[in-house]
Structures are given as C-alpha cells and as structure tokens.
Structure 1
Amino acid sequence: MMKVVILFMLGFFISSASVAQGQKYAFVEAGGTSIFAAVNFDMRFKKDAREGLGFRAGVGNTFGVFDSELVKDVVVFPVGVNYVYGSKKSSLVVGFNTSIVLVKNRNGSESPFIISPEIGYRYRPYEKGIAFHASYVPLFNTADGTMPVWLGVGVGYSW
C-alpha cells in the first residue's frame, strides 16, 4: 500500500511540471501537519503567482518518538490546501490539511486521518532561494482523542 501511495505522489509531482504553476516551495518540516518530521512540496495554482490558492503534499515519519505497544512505525502523508496572503517576501498562510496516517500493529482505535487547520508566517524570496515558515497547527481526530496545541517549522528552497 505504501509503495502505491509513494508512486502516486511521485507521478503527481512529475506531471505537475507540465502544467502552468505559480511559486513552488520544497521543504523539510518539524512538527506541524507532519506530526514529527516530513519532506513536503507546496505550490500556487495560478501561473506566476506568489500568493493565492495552492496545495501542499508530503511524506513523513515519527521515527519512533510516539511508538507504544499498540502503535509502531508511523508513516504520515500530509496533504492540504492553503492560501498565501501577501506578495512581498513575508506572508500569512491559512490552510486546511489532513494527514493520512499509516500505522503498523494498529489496535483499531487509531484514526487513519488527522485533520489540522493551519495559520502561520512564511518568508520566501522574490525569485529563488532559501525560504522558511512557522505555523500554529492544532491537530483534530488524533488516536487518543485529544486536540494538542501543535506548532510546525520548516525550511527549504523556493522557486
């Protein structure tokens, strides 16, 4: 199953190169929608746009940090839509994400989806270069039923 999801995501990224697109942002993220750590891709839908509607998709892992007797080897696929406000280097990001969670040795009480709205700050250069972001991302529908206050930070390359 995981191989199929990874192949689908790679195919999507490769095929998106042939469609008119706005600014793109590839980044590593700690916390946030990825729960612990992930590699992500974000881009605007409108051609040559620095702001506006876009999406993000990625793949991550908890690297054993949240493992227990019932939950082991957690792989996370954060996906979502977002809106970037501000065409200058600094901008506000508002989004709605879901994390598809693949868990080995599940007991059945865990949810395969974690829902997370997002509000944050993003810095990106006008052309190409290093970009970063910080977000507040409350997590809903977690395995234990809590809604933890969750933060995320990311750094990557924008073009």
Structure 2
Amino acid sequence: MKTVVLIIVGFLAVLPFAFSQDKIPQFDTRHKNVYGELLGSHILAGVNFDMRLKKGVMDGIGFRAGVGGISTTTSDQTSDVSLGIVTFPLEFNHLVGKKRSSFVTGAGLLPVYASFSSEGGTLDDYEYISGEGFAVVGGFLSMGYRFQPKKSGVMFQFHWNPLILRGSGFTAGWFGLGLGVGFK
C-alpha cells in the first residue's frame, strides 16, 4: 500500500511540470539566402546576403547586403589606365508570396569605393594621375521574381534595378540575375 501511495504522490508532484509547456520547443529561425548576382545593383557582378526580419516566415520585410564590382586595365603604346570599382549595395526589401515563389520589391543605397590611375605619355611629357575615394553614388529600386527553397536548397532571382544616381537623376537601370542557396 505504501508503494501505491508513493507512486500516486510522485505522479501528482510531477504532473504540474508535465503540463507547464504547451508545445515542444522548436528552433524557429529566419530564412536566409546567399547568392551571386550578375548585373543588377552591383554594376557587373557581386555576392549578396539576404535575410527576412521575422522568424519562421519566407515572406515579409527583410534586408540585403552585398559586395561586388568591376576592375579593368587598358594599355596602349603610350599609356596605361586602371579603374577599379567596388560596390556595397544595401537594401530593405519585401517579399510577397507565402510559398516558394515570391514577388520581390526593394529600395536601397549604393555606396561605392573607386580607384583610378593613369600613366604614360612621351619621354618629354610623362604624366601619372591617380585617385581613390568612397562615396554613396545614389540609390536603386528593385522589382522582380524570386524562387527560394522552403528549408534549404537552390534559390533563383530575376529583377529589374532602376538606378537613381547623384547628379544624373533617374536612369533606366538594367536587369539582374541571382543564383545561390537558401536556408533556415
């Protein structure tokens, strides 16, 4: 009889703890994408990290940060010219679509680091010019289509990026193509 009473008392002592959790804890994380992009807001090519701000959803408000750019050198018999541009697009975006396909819209800033050098000329008239600097050259908009995995896998994005450049105003921009991986 003592054993039955001890089992009942033990059961009643553990019972409140058993019902104290409504559900099993789950790791609810934010949906993220890492992808390479051709053209778009990077001028030529770049890499982006994109993440939703709300946990457990694939749509809604998020942000994108990237790095990319272009480097070129031109030489002829009398001169050498080098140009390097590194872009750092920063964007707040919004995805509409609860499943794998979404319509993406966004607005962002385009900080750029650029360096330029030129040297050459004749023996009597040789020049060397160089310069570098960091500036926000303008902003951009983004509108397009994104296909992303529900948990992890391949993601694809195609979008139009009109640019708003300082001193030039609104330009038509161009299209961008992104391919990468999405995960939680």
TM-score calculated relative to the size of structure 2? 0.66
Q: Is the CA contact (8 Å cut-off) linking 1:32 and 1:135 kept in structure 2?
A: yes
2:68 is matched with 60
Q: Cα offset for 1:114?
A: 2.6
Provide runs of 4+ in structure 1 moved above 6 Å.
none
User: Corresponding residue for 1:136?
Assistant: 160
Structure 2 equivalent of residue 14 of structure 1: none
Work out which of the two has the higher radius of gyration on C-alpha atoms and give 1 or 2: 2
Matches within 5 A, 1:1-159: 21-64=29-72, 72-105=83-116, 112-141=136-165, 147-159=171-183
Report the CA distance shift for 1:23/1:61 in structure 2 as closer, same or farther (over 3 A): same
For the residues of structure 1 that align with 2:169 and 2:110, how far apart are their CA atoms?
15
Contact 2:111 2:135 survives alignment (8 Å): no
Contact 2:100 2:150 in 1 (8 A): yes
Question: Please, which runs of 5 or more residues in structure 2 have no aligned partner?
Answer: 1-27, 74-79, 117-129
CA distance in 2, matches of 1:70, 1:63: 11
Which whole-Å deviations, capped at 9, do the CAs of 1:110-138 have from their partners, x for residues lacking one? 96323111100000111110001000111
Aligned length: 136
More strand by share: 2
Contact 2:113 2:135 in 1 (8 A): no
Identity %: 33
How far, CA to CA, are the matches of 1:146 and 1:124 in structure 2? 30
CA RMSD in angstroms comes to 2.7
